[in-house]
Each structure stands twice: as C-alpha cells, then as structure tokens.
Amino acid sequence: MERVPILKIGGLLLVSIQIDLQDQSVLALQEDLAEKISATGAHGVIIDISAVEIVDSFIGRMFATIAGISRLFDADTVVVGMRPAVAITLVELGLTLGGVRTALDLERGMKILGQLGRGRDS
C-alpha cells in the first residue's frame, strides 16, 4: 500500500495526492493526519487534489472525515484543485461535499486558511 506524504509548512499541513488512491491508503491518510495535527498543533490542512483523476464516494467521504477530524483539533480543512470533470461527476454521483470547504487552487486555499487562522494565534 502506498502512503500519501503530509508536509508541514508553518502552521499548515499540506497533503498533495499524487497516487491512484486505494481504500487502505485513504484510511491510512486519515489516521496519519489525525496524528500529525495532534502532534504539530497545525491550524489548517490543505488537501491538493489537482492530480486526482477520479473521486468516488469513498474518497469523497474521506474529505468530510478529515474535515471533521481537523475540527476536533481546532484546525480548518480546505480541498483545492478539483478538476472540472471530477466536479461534474461528483455532483451527478450525488456527493455535494456539503461540510467541506473548497478553493480553486493552492494559493487561494492558503489565503482562506490564513484568514481563518488569523486571530487565533495572537
């Protein structure tokens, strides 16, 4: 099973998914992230899916789960870089990712987290 690396940049954790995710990798990522947020006290998590060709219900649910876990550690989650074909497919599949914050790209995602994180550190 391949593992998705988690990078720490300042108070943020960056997860860039570059592999074709199997279910075990998804579960491992959720656990690794929980550990990492707890260990680092990060205030934000960015999940970059610009290289992800499909998001099915299992992977979609991972975003919601990660957002939920982060919230328990007082961290915010943003999913960035969704491909247009993936967005169209997700809506038709019936997954609207209601509770998950999204941004067009990494830059905007970091900006959102910067705004959300402001004030909590000072």
Partner 1 sequence: MPPRSEGPEELPITADDDVVRVRQLVRTYAQQTKLSLVDQTKLVTAASELARNTLIYGGGGFARVEEVSDGRRAGVRASFHDEGPGIPDLTLALADGWSSGSGLGLGLSGAKRLVDQFDLDTEVGRGTVVTVTKWKR
Bridge partners, residue 14, by sequence: 7, 46
CB 81 within 8 Å of CB 48: yes
Which residues touch 70 (CB under 8 Å, ≥6 apart)? 33, 37, 45, 76, 77
Q: Which of 9, 20, 38, 71 is in the footprint of partner 1 by CB under 8 A?
A: 20
Residue that the structure tokens 């497919």 belong to: 89
Q: Which of 13, 42, 55, 80 is in the footprint of partner 1 by CB under 8 A?
A: 55
Options 28-36, 66-74, 81-89, 105-113: segment touching partner 1 (CB under 8 A): 81-89
CB of 92 or CB of 121, closer to partner 1: 92
Q: What is the DSSP string of 65-86?
A: HHHHHHHHTT-EEEEE---HHH
58 binds partner 1, rule: CB under 8 A: yes
CB of 55 or CB of 67, closer to partner 1: 55
Residues of this chain that bind partner 1 (CB under 8 A) = 1, 20-24, 53-58, 60-61, 83-86, 88-89, 92-95
